[in-house]
Chain A
């Protein structure tokens, strides 16, 4: 069979993109591709855009538009990490580079996976950019590693093969020429004999030396304006004159790296800055993570140890003091500091023994910065660290990384998020337990640093606040874990940054699922994260939010989010608190919170306190307030209650009442019933009930085969209910519905209209609608009756149409390979409507579903394969059904125009057969 145009087009691009020639991008335009394949430009463009939308191709939205074959760009690896559309070729190029297998030269740059990650990406892109690379400016304070980075860039270019292995790295420190621009120019460009006194023969310049390699101009802000001008003339033309000869011009292919400590906008000529397309800003050491500082320290100690050929150990205090010092002159100063330490230690050390760095060996600037050593440090047993210990500490610290790696990539656990979230959590929580054990061990061994204690204080504060507000209690053990995890995050999360970047999309989708699975846990996680951000002044990245969510989810067995909240209010400084505490203790769970009411405090203030508390309760809640004698009326009249809370008051607070109410709350007895049963004896108790909460209208979606299907049904309904209909759909666990029947709290909190699903859970009083029946239009009287209780006739019609369309869409998703199902469905919907009008028939839902799927797949087949089926009675059909044919053709007009396909008569004949015979 002849290969379709479609395949040819993809193949052509595949071969082009395999070894993309970034200097010949014109081959990647629709025009050029159309020319090669001998088709019209419009057609080629349409195919290309379809394929790009389907993800086979990557598109660069410039003028002209370029197309690349996704897989071939990266040789079939990691291509799913490319975006579909890029706004410039440079952007695509940088993305491709960052995804290509690494040569590893940047690995020796500490922080290349952490705080310098973005810098490294920019450097890679600049140095290997087609042509002569892009000139790049490294901007950062002194000692941040600009020269080192420049050297690595050269090595990288050699390994990537963009410069020859013999090529040179020529470094020029421009500050040496600050007062002597002429010398700079002669050195840079070279001079000819007689250019100045003493120039006795021609001499080549640094540019010529660097030809084919890299020229690094450090401290470029020191160059005079004249030198800067000459420099950008060279950057523009790629050619230069030697000093003393304005006739002959020389060329040099040089990759330029410039570096400066000063703001380029202030110190460089604007004309020069404009010619530097990329600037990368290197962070000062103080802005980098503690972990990277530790790594730098270790690395430098190890290097010194090799240099002096002696083992080096360091006293713990000295180690900490170095880490605590801010190093205003950055990595350079840290390196220098270690040199000084080693030099000082050598003077006092016994020969041939290992060198111990002590506090007194530290440079003065550190000693002057520290007048006292924090007492905690002196208590530590381990006072001397050798290099192995420091290194192993560095490795152990990657626990959080290992945990996250396992969460995101471990043995298919992630797949369970969809199918069986409960199982997912239990698997991951096992892994997290292990993580907490490791953390705990480590902290025990290392002791806690003062900053950690500070963090713990903040974490505990946030938790106390949250648990108060949500009427929950967090176990001490869980709290400890949370603290450890936050510590670890602050110290070591940079290790996870590459992982987070790589799995960005996955992480976001998991978070979405968490949100759908338990919005309460997710809400609490978010709340926690936002308070943590405020408290510790650090942003919480999505990956750590995910960790927190898993951790907090493990609390939930102790917590019932939907439970009625009990509040005790009593006169006396701590009467209410002690009653609540005793009650909670006896009940075995935290049920009651207390509001103390000192004798002299006006009841209005207590009411205000209670109002404040109620305002902070999230979501719909039931609250029951127990007050002591005499306060009831004054309080409840002054309550400004949120309108979603049902508020019950009982007076004559006693321990017996607390236990009685508490045990009913624990067994999910509705507030109203609690009030009634407590106040059966009106002499003893009185109650007031404010029913403020309007129960929302809901449809319950359940499925015996699992929550995933119920979730799908719920989605289907939610998408299909007309916007103006005020009904929401709740997914509910089938088994727990069967177990608690009508007593399920969901019935008390909501006005359940009916239950929808695949199998009747048989809850008396609540009608059940089978999804199958609704779709197949069976039992229509019954179904319409249920639905029309909250929908008008027009809404009902819209609902049915939407339901069928969305259901077809769900089924179509797995069928189509290249076309966008949502978009296509829109067209097919019009076709079906027109065909019903044209035939003057009302198709059944089954026929409509069949047509949705058949027509969608037909369009894709006509586009991808250009194949139409045969029909055995075609002549006959054409003779007798001209009306149907022309009606169909006119119904298909839109889709034919949009997708550039024509529907053959044989396919129309099948549509006819389908509509009239099915």
Chain B
């Protein structure tokens, strides 16, 4: 079961490890990202950022889908992290265990604008976002748990 799916361009880093993990109440972290799979150095950095008592799995998006659809994953509480909204949508579409999505950070790029703290999106991503909003129970923007969450629904409709 995925307790929370977080979208964060930096994937797992110090702040996420400390704040969200204790908040999400999961026993395992799943990082789903195609880029990291080919980057041994980035993998080492992710492993170093992980709290000592947590399990960590790093998979490609397809690998993550397979893992989440494995019946044995049903009983494990998972905190999943992806890099982009597109990746989140791919996971959501191909699995049925994700209902809560937190968007914490998306990198600035060509044609993007800031819609929530640390979240830059372009037009394409806005479309993906609204698709995502329709598929799961909750999509919110929040950097750390103590911040006030802002619902994606209200942000898009503005």
Contact = CB atoms under 8 A, between A and B. Distances in A.
B144 A869 contact: yes
A861 B144 CA distance: 14
B28 to A, nearest CB: 18
A703 B118 contact: no
Contacts of B114: 1, 3-4, 7, 865
Contact of A850 (B9, B14, B108, B146): B14
Interface string B14-53: 1101110000000000000000001111101101110100
Given A811-B41, A849-B48, A870 B148 contact: yes
Contacts of A4: 114
Given A776-B48, A870-B144, A918 B41 contact: no
B47 A850 contact: no
A709 B144 CA distance: 33
Nearest to B109: A817
11 contacts: A771-B41, A775-B48, A810-B41, A817-B108, A845-B48, A853-B14, A857-B13, A870-B144, A870-B148, A910-B15, A918-B17
A210 to B, nearest CB: 46
A910 B19 contact: yes
B10 interface: yes
A817 to B, nearest CB: 5
B137 interface: no
Interface string A821-858: 00000000000000000000000011101110110010
A914 interface: yes
Nearest to B10: A815
B42 A811 contact: yes
Contacts of A771: 40-41, 44
Q: How large is the interface on B (under 10, 10 to 19, 20 to 34, 35 or more residues)?
A: 20 to 34
B88 interface: no
Given A771-B44, A776-B47, A807-B45, A850 B118 contact: no
B14 to A, nearest CB: 3
Residue among A4, A771, A854, A914 with max Cβ neighbours from chain B (10 Å): A854
Contact of B117 (A703, A865, A872, A913): A865
A203 to B, nearest CB: 60
A918 B15 CA distance: 10
B107 interface: yes
B41 A870 contact: no
A178 to B, nearest CB: 60
Given A772-B47, A817-B108, A869-B144, A851 B14 contact: yes
A807 B9 CA distance: 18
B40 A854 contact: no
Please indicate which of the listed interface residues A845, A850, A867 has the most CB atoms of chain B within 10 Å of its own CB: A850
**Residue from B19, B40, B45 having most chain A Cβ neighbours under 10 A:** B40
Contacts of B51: 918
| Top 6 A-B residue pairs of the complex, sorted by shortest distance between their CB atoms | A850-B14, A872-B146, A854-B14, A867-B117, A846-B48, A870-B146
A444 interface: no
Nearest to A918: B18
B37 to A, nearest CB: 10
A637 interface: no
Contacts of B75: none
Contacts of B126: none
Contacts of B14: 847, 850-851, 853-854, 914, 918
A712 interface: yes
A742 B24 CA distance: 50
Given A705-B38, A867-B117, A870-B148, A850 B143 contact: no
A807 B47 CA distance: 13
B17 A709 contact: no
Contacts of A307: none
B144 to A, nearest CB: 5
A709 B15 contact: no
Contacts of A845: 48
A1 B116 contact: yes
Interface string A860-904: 010011010111100000000000000000000000000000000
Contacts of B145: 872
A807 B15 contact: no
A843 to B, nearest CB: 11
Nearest to B47: A772
Nearest to A913: B18
Contacts of A7: 114
A758 interface: yes
B147 interface: yes
B17 A815 contact: no
Contacts of B115: 1
A915 to B, nearest CB: 10
Contacts of A287: none
A617 to B, nearest CB: 37
B121 to A, nearest CB: 13
A815 B10 CA distance: 7
Given A846-B48, A870-B146, A861 B41 contact: no
A7 B45 CA distance: 32
A917 interface: yes
A857 B105 CA distance: 11
A811 B40 CA distance: 11
A775 B18 CA distance: 20
Given A705-B40, A817-B108, A846-B49, A857 B144 contact: no
Contact of B45 (A705, A811, A861, A869): A811
A828 to B, nearest CB: 13
A850 B117 contact: no
Interface in B69-88: none
Given A850-B13, A869-B143, A869-B146, A703 B40 contact: yes
